[in-house]
Amino acid sequence: MPPGVVSKDVADIENLLSLNPKVLNHATLKPTAATVESRRYWKRNGDKSCSSCTPKTKDFDDIKHTTLSERGALREAMRCLKCADAPCQKSCPTQLDIKAFITSIANQNYYGSAKAIFSDNPLGLTCGMVCPTSDLCVGGCNLYASEEGPINIGGLQQFATETFKKMGVKQIHDPSLDLASLPTSYKSKIALVGCGPASISCATFLARLGYSDVTVFEKQEYVGGLSASEIPQFRLPFDVVSYEVELMKDLGVKVVYNKAFGSDGLTIQSLRDDGYQAIFLGLGLPNPNIIPIFNGITQSNGLWTSKDFLPIVAAASKAGMCSCKAQLPDFGGCKVIVLGAGDTAFDCATSALRCGAKRVYVVFRKGFTNIRAVPEEMELAKEEKCEFLPFHSPKSIKVKDGSICSMTFLRTEQDDSGKWVEDEEQPVTIKTDIVISAFGSGLSDPSVKEAMDPVRLNKWGLPEVDNITMTTSEPDVFCGGDLAGVAQTTVESVNDGKQASWHIHKFIQAKNGVKIPTEPQLPKFYTAVDEVDISVELCGIKFENPFGLASATPTTSSAMIRRAFEAGWAFALTKTYGLDKDLVTNVSPRIVRGSTHGAVYGPHQQSYLNIELISEKTAAYWLQSITELKKDFPTKIVIASIMCAYDENDWKTLAKMSEDAGADALELNLSCPHGMGEKGMGLACGQKEYMVRDICQWVRSAVTIPFFAKMTPNITEITTIANAAKEGGADGVTAINTVSGMMTIKVDGAAWPNVGIQKRTTYGGVSGNAVRPIAFRAVSSIGNKLPGFPILATGGIDSAAVGIQFLMAGATLLQVCSAVHNQDYTVIDDYITGLKCLLYMRSIKELKDWDGQTAPTERHQLGKPVFTLPDNETVLPNFGEFRKKKEELKFELKQKLDLLDSSNAPTRPVFKPVVATPKIRDMIGFALDKITSYTDLDNAAQVVATIDQEMCINCGKCYMTCNDSGYQAIKFDPETHLPVVTDDCTGCTLCVSVCPIIDCITMGPRQTKHVPKRGIPVASA
């Protein structure tokens, strides 16, 4: 008999289980005072009562709430409804196709997302970081009407474009644009003054149009305009600005530095004299607005303007921006007053903290409801403990011993007419050391105004500008950005440049007598990825790409197929039709959302169940439709899906009629799992080898075009049926049709869907991602069993990332249905760009460690990189006193850092293919040799889990799962809630499966010999 009790945990395991959840049998009693202490211990968010927060001096790390990791981006993208006529897009100044780029993120096609963004906004990364989205796109989000709130569009935009940036791909001209054959008018010289957002945008679009002599003149030694000099590093890193300028230069745009408009001989007339055919003014508003009480007070006294302060902070914190080696202003221990209520004022406030300010007051004339800054900016300043003083208007400033010592304000009120008035009887004096004026800017430099001559100026001293064409009083001079007087944000400046580019194009071509389209046609963003060939040949038929629509609801009518072809689908199967004697009438309801993934409502349904039959339309309708579609879309492939009972004449007749109508190929529906089986069709034929073989032989004798037998998964071994189809002469198979099942039974006992007053139902076809594992098995099994036998895969294909997996499992073509239910026909654009990128990346050596389009995971918390502590420091969790300790250590290290160290300067990776980009044919069956039987697996090659405690959010999911579903191999520290894997780990990978943070837990080779725990030792012989 074995010693001891085996059905109880041993002592060390009992100890390990001490924090494991237990069912409570009574209410929990704990004193409030104890809970107060406990709450403070575990607190993760900011402490409202904090009076001794860690200083922010020299801390220019990202502080944006919108920044997302891949996990956050995927979850947020899945929430997006991808609305019809989306209000978010209508609210975007550059008209970004927001639902399209978010669709691509949800499908892990980050290249496709970035392409959509940069196509309409050449500064898409900048705008993803600094756009006031709550006032723009997010303000129109339909999810504002829901409890969970609107989509974080800016964060998603930032994530996609940052990921693309890491791919190291250069921008190119539209591959269809033959630059060599363009008229000489495209060699016209075009000048842009100021290298800010408006000019960068305008120059990029002009270069995309094919203009080869585009020059940007910049007065500074750095690019970016206000994006570089006035938006702080912690909101917009300089390497982002630099990167987007490099994208512009990819197209041949030149930048001339240290060339100031007005003071370096650069004028409208000098540019004309130098042969420039068009001029764009995008030089911004360089001069600060100064109120009279500041007359005679200077920076030496402690008075700064935003135009003085922010550029110095930028120069001292943005490595690589300039060669000046500036130092941050020393506000150590100072009280700082910032005047203004715009975004710039709040940038000044948070930047002052980075300069060592002890306390910062943001003082403004109106109330909180009138603040011009976007809520995101104000919230950041609030979190960093800046104080807000509304209803205060500057009255006077006091200087003592050459330094500002206080400032007096008058209380303001709004009278009945809406005018804001000062109350002389309510003065308030605030002691201060530094005052930063952020009252906006204008154009007061006489040399700049003289340089603009003969452009007519308005009453504000700015150029008169047509807001539609962006032209000035001079037909060859255009204007945009702050100088044009309408744009108040970076993205609006970008759109000014975009708008101007088309009208500059019109002006130059008209001047040269060249006709261009009436409707604007600005080229999109292109890279070498877009030149990848994803065509594929099957049975002598060439397909533009491997994506097509399955025989299902997306092909209910030929008009729908027409729209699908126009969208870019390479092929489509008609909805299955039969002879007139087999016409059907559907019941309703018949198509319902799945319940396999819980309470998921809206798009991204993971499964559907339907009891819909084949097409209700006649064979004549489909035959005529095939003829029309082939006539209008000769390069698209139309596959006729047909169904008959087990009748030789019927199959021959319908197959021949379809061939004569012009179908490129046939699909024999031998697998419909509901309704048709009772009629002796569909599933009734597809489950029997002899029937499949006979039907294929009949069709083979009747037609010469290729045909494919559609397989049912509702069978023990699908390869036997596939083999029968091959023996019968089929050119391939489609795998798989829907899986027979039932989805939901409600509390009243009625299933859903139910029909009629009796609320009856039947087993229907389950489709979507829930059946993908079954489809993978079917496709790979056939691929291994019948090498080289063509397979059309269907079943849960909802992205390029999934599509390439099916190709590697042995498929040649990919049929889609449920993904269109979730979205619309335009998803094909995402699939095409996604597949091209996945193929292209296989040719880049530097991207070999990427998982598809996912970059290797960096250590992060809240979507931002984890600040690395010294090696001798113990890993600390991110809550309570531990968090405060980490912040203190971080502060100490930050003080020792050189912000301008060359290692922090912008670098732009550009990767080139080292091998030929693979073709679709190279991927077909690529993974089949790795799919084998269980007995071929190596049980000596064991792995174990490793937890990255810097990324851990201390939820304990790994610990609980390992305890109650695994091997009790994870300890959970009661004080830090940091999990630790023990030597008992068997490498089951359950912990990885439930961990909410991507790559927080990884699997690596076991370093010791694996000895299974047998419970009771094996009896010796």
Contact between residue 772 and residue 802 where contact means Cβ atoms under 8 Å apart? yes
H helix or E strand, kind and range, residue 458: none
DSSP assignment string, 418-457: S-EEEEEEEEEEEE-SEEEE---EE---HHHHHHTTTS-B
Count the Cβ atoms, other than its own, within 10 Å of residue 787.
Answer: 10
Give the gyration radius of the chain's Cα atoms: 34
The Cα 319–Cα 312 span in angstroms is 12
The Cα 50–Cα 853 span in angstroms is 42
Q: Taking the CA atoms of 890, 895, 901 and 904 in sequence, report the sign of the dihedral they define.
A: positive
SS3 assignment, position 408: strand
The Cα 819–Cα 85 span in angstroms is 19
Residue 843 structure tokens? 């040719």
Only one residue has tokens 């092909």, namely: 555
Contact between residue 609 and residue 741 where contact means Cβ atoms under 8 Å apart? yes
Among residues 613, 617, 668, 619, the alpha carbon closest in space to that of 639 is found at 668
DSSP conformation class of 860: E
Q: Which parts of 133-264 fold into alpha helices (H)? A: 153-167, 197-209, 226-229, 238-250
644 annotated active-site: no
Q: Taking the CA atoms of 598, 603, 604 and 605 in sequence, report the sign of the dihedral they define.
A: positive
Residue 417 structure tokens? 């007419």
- Cα-flanking dihedrals φ and ψ of residue 914, to 5°? -105, -15
What amino acid is encoded at 917 in this protein? T
- Alpha-carbon distance values, 1013 to 481, 508, 595, 624, 984 (Å): 71, 81, 38, 69, 9
The Cα 362–Cα 348 span in angstroms is 9
* Interior/surface letters 179-211, b for 16+ CB within 10 angstroms, e for the rest: eeeeeebbebbbbbbbbbbbbbbbbbbbbbbbb
The Cα 3–Cα 148 span in angstroms is 57
DSSP assignment string, 528-575: GGGG----EEETTEEESSSEEE-SSGGGSSHHHHHHHHHHT-SEEEPP
Contact between residue 400 and residue 415 where contact means Cβ atoms under 8 Å apart? no
The Cα 313–Cα 72 span in angstroms is 31
First to last CA, the chain: 16
Count the Cβ atoms, other than its own, within 10 Å of residue 498.
Answer: 25
Query: What's the half-sphere exposure (Cβ side, CA atoms, 13 Å) at 860?
Result: 18
H helix or E strand, kind and range, residue 264: none
The Cα 930–Cα 257 span in angstroms is 56
Whether residue 454 has a cis bond before it, omega within 30° of 0:
yes
The Cα 845–Cα 337 span in angstroms is 53
Among residues 349, 318, 352, the alpha carbon closest in space to that of 220 is found at 318
Count the Cβ atoms, other than its own, within 10 Å of residue 554.
Answer: 23
Q: Which parts of 763-879 fold into alpha helices (H)? A: 772-785, 800-808, 818-822, 827-841
Only one residue has tokens 């920044």, namely: 67
DSSP conformation class of 462: S
Q: Which of 80, 88, 127, 672 is the catalytic position?
A: 672
Active site residues: 672
